[in-house]
Amino acid sequence: EAMLTAYLAFGMLGEMDDNVILSQHLLLEAITKSSDKVVVFCNKGGIKVPPTARKVYSLMEHNIFEVFDRHNNKANFHPKLWLIREINNDDKKDILLKLIVTSRNLAYTDNIDCIACLTGKVGSTYANNEKHHRLKAFIECVIKESNINPDQKKSVCLLYTSPSPRD
């Protein structure tokens, strides 16, 4: 259920309440609008189907990739991070990439969450900047250790190297 929140937030870009979450047509609209904007990397076997399974979950499956260590099957991939690409509506060439790291899982709880956010410009000039190499290497390592297919891998890499991810 909590994963739907991300799709609703990116797809609806507005306030959400129980009525929105319960509305099947708004859920479908939100998933459709944001399906090319959301990629989830999780520990292999780490996403559980909620007890109230809905058919809309099947629309998200192509955006979920399992990360696993081929050399150590006991290893656990457990970061809580978001990589978000923002485009300025007034200047389409002004693109930012935000890395948000949180201290807890995406879940409906009252627990306090600690968050760190790093923001940087997108483009080959910035992607090749030496101070960005560790972040770029981390993203590439996550992609390499996941079951993502080559076309989707290319799309994710373009998020931080290309002014237009469709180029």
Q: What is the pTM of this model?
A: 0.66
Per-residue pLDDT of the chain (167 residues; tens, 9 = 90+): 667 777 777 766 555 666 666 677 777 888 887 777 777 788 887 777 777 656 777 788 888 888 888 888 888 877 777 777 787 889 887 888 787 888 777 766 777 777 788 777 777 666 677 877 777 787 788 888 888 888 778 777 766 666 655 43
The reported pLDDT for the residue numbered 147 is: 84
- 146 Cβ neighbours under 8 A, 6+ residues apart: 41, 65, 66, 67, 68
Alpha helices by DSSP H, the chain: 2-12, 18-22, 24-34, 124-127, 133-144, 150-161
The reported pLDDT for the residue numbered 98 is: 80
∠ Cα 104 109 111 (to 5°): 60
Could you tell me the maximum CA-CA distance found in the chain, to the nearest angstrom?
48
DSSP 109-143: ------EEEEEEE-SHHHHT-GGGHHHHHHHHHHH
Return d(Cα 157, Cα 11) in angstroms, integer. Answer: 22
Return d(Cα 92, Cα 155) in angstroms, integer. Answer: 18
125-130 contacts, C-beta under 8 A, 24 or more apart: 127/160, 127/161
